[in-house]
Amino acid sequence: MSSYVLSAARLAGRGGIIDDGYVVVEGGRVAATGQGRPPALDLPVVDLGQVMLAAGYIDVHVHGGGGYEVNCATRDEVETSVRRMAEFHATHGTTALVATTVSDSPEALRTAVEGVAAVALSPDGPGTGARVLGSHLEGPWISRSRAGAQYPGALRPPSVEELTDLLALSRGTVRIVTLAPELDGATELIRAATAAGVVVSIGHTDADSDEAGAAFRAGASHATHLFNAMAPIHHRRPGPVAAALGDSRVYLEIIADGIHIHPTLISLVATVAPDRLVLVTDAIGATGTSPGLHRLGPLEVLVEDGRAVLAEHHETVAGSVLTMDRAVALAVHVAGVPLEVALRAASLHPATQLGETTRGHLAEGADADIVLLDDELAVVGTLVGGRVVHDPAGLLHAVSSLSRPRSAPAAGTVPAQATGTVPAQATGSVLAQATGSVLAPAGGSVAGNGDDSLPGEPGGRPLAPL
């Protein structure tokens, strides 16, 4: 595997963001990082100019993308679909993901976890896309009253027997389970899942604060799309949101698309719990495709103006068409989240929650999963395990050439194509997409696979422009 040095205007490392940073990549891992002139090594140095190097994004809640989704009819279809969605999301800076199902029949979920496992455990690794770390079961053990865009006919009580079956079929690759902790049998399932090393998340739940707190004491340590598909905070009935915010053991998913929750609440979570914020997309298969009718598991979805809703119930938002680069951009530029916090929320925090100790940061020994960002936080390059998987402007051409079957270039500086420039088509495009959907129609309900209300002021009035 190729070895080289990346040099850039800025580097987001474990100690913060520094100017004039470099990363030494050897054998698909980070061998060293530093500031200033790279050390005199017998390796080619690729000068990337005015970009920032950061740890690749990790999305722990993603249903699909690029026209593909996790819930499919056969194992082979799941495997192909998951590979294609991983390739799509890599173009937006995602270097690892947890393929997320929606509530479906027992047989459909069996098929899904088998297909995801085939990709996650493949000896070929991630191929040309993001790494697939396993599966996230969002349902079927969730509340009917908070189902949102989950198929009601597939919901059922928590079953340790069904969980055990899915764990076996997944060959240990089920990573997260979302459930409603107030349901009968939920506590037993939480204990069984955590004993098997699975992260348990509360979501699509009508639990009160006491029930949520009991779930956290039983082992749950995650909240699925906080604020969405759960009771809101009330000064006399604090609910699961307050319980999750107040428990330092719990990681907090946020869908930063300007539709699911108001940017002020994104800022609030980043202020109250900066080390527990986890940015996710909740992206569906329609992400990156044309507007119109699409599928989300068993349900039909309509995508218009960057908003996905149930085709038969337009007031219910059905996942998102968000990508991780846009989530980071909106968190920073619209919600005012500090850049370092937003980057960690998209990389280090999800990696830590999953126990992925070699991912989510750029330091010696870490996987060389790297995203290249311009000044507007648009993705101009993605590397997975040191291999180029996205390079729209040719900035990483010199790195790609190292893996070709020819003699390696001599040690020294290898100027990257378009060094010191940002591709015109990328500049500003991420923020424009991210902020274009901040306003939402007045009235109705947002579901994020199950929200309670659209972002807006009391009485259903839309938000003022930000």
Q: What are the beta bridge partners of residue 310?
A: 301, 313
- Given a cut of 80, is residue 458 above it in pLDDT? no
- Given a cut of 60, is residue 119 above it in pLDDT? yes
What share of the chain in percent tops pLDDT 70?
86
- Given a cut of 90, is residue 7 above it in pLDDT? yes
- Quick count: other Cβ atoms within 10 Å of Cβ 49? 15
Q: What local confidence, expressed as pLDDT, does residue 430 receive?
A: 54
Range 147-157 average pLDDT: 95
pLDDT by residue (tens digit) across 46-56? 999 999 999 99
Range 292-301 average pLDDT: 94
Both tokens of 431, joined, read: 């923020």
Q: What local confidence, expressed as pLDDT, does residue 2 receive?
A: 84
CA nearest neighbour of 10 among 274, 375, 345: 375
Q: Are 67 and 289 in contact (CB under 8 A)?
A: yes
- Given a cut of 80, is residue 459 above it in pLDDT? no
Q: What is the pTM of this model?
A: 0.88
Contacts of residue 15, defined as CB under 8 A and 6 or more positions apart, other chains included, come to: none
Q: Are 101 and 136 in contact (CB under 8 A)?
A: yes
Catalytically annotated residue among 104, 247, 282, 451: 282
- Given a cut of 90, is residue 453 above it in pLDDT? no
Average pLDDT, the chain: 88
The third-level CATH classification (topology) of the domain covering 4-54+360-415 is Urease, subunit C; domain 1 (2.30.40)
Q: Does 57-351 match 4-54+360-415 at the fold level?
A: no
Distance CA 22, CA 217 (A): 43
Distance CA 227, CA 382 (A): 31
Kind of pairing between the strands at 251-255 and 277-280: parallel
Q: What local confidence, expressed as pLDDT, does residue 1 receive?
A: 59
pLDDT by residue (tens digit) across 54-90? 999 999 999 999 999 999 999 999 999 999 999 999 9
Q: What local confidence, expressed as pLDDT, does residue 164 receive?
A: 98
CA dihedral 430, 344, 263, 207 (to 10 degrees): 130
Radius of gyration of the chain (CA): 21
Is 282 catalytic? The answer is yes
- Given a cut of 60, is residue 463 above it in pLDDT? no
pLDDT by residue (tens digit) across 402-444? 765 544 444 444 444 333 333 333 334 455 444 433 333 333 3
- Given a cut of 50, is residue 461 above it in pLDDT? no
- Given a cut of 80, is residue 397 above it in pLDDT? yes
Distance CA 359, CA 83 (A): 20
Both tokens of 394, joined, read: 């040719």
- Given a cut of 80, is residue 342 above it in pLDDT? yes
- Given a cut of 80, is residue 390 above it in pLDDT? yes
Give the residue ranges of DSSP H helices in 126-261. 160-169, 186-195, 209-218, 239-245
Q: What local confidence, expressed as pLDDT, does residue 411 receive?
A: 40
Top-tier CATH class for 57-351? alpha beta
- Given a cut of 90, is residue 454 above it in pLDDT? no
- Quick count: other Cβ atoms within 10 Å of Cβ 253? 30
Domain boundaries of the chain, sorted by first residue: 4-54+360-415, 57-351
**Which range (18-27, 302-311, 440-449) has the least confidence?**
440-449
Q: What local confidence, expressed as pLDDT, does residue 426 receive?
A: 37
pLDDT by residue (tens digit) across 223-244? 999 999 999 999 999 999 999 9
- Given a cut of 50, is residue 313 above it in pLDDT? yes
Greater confidence (180 vs 462) lies with 180
pLDDT by residue (tens digit) across 356-372? 999 999 999 999 999 99
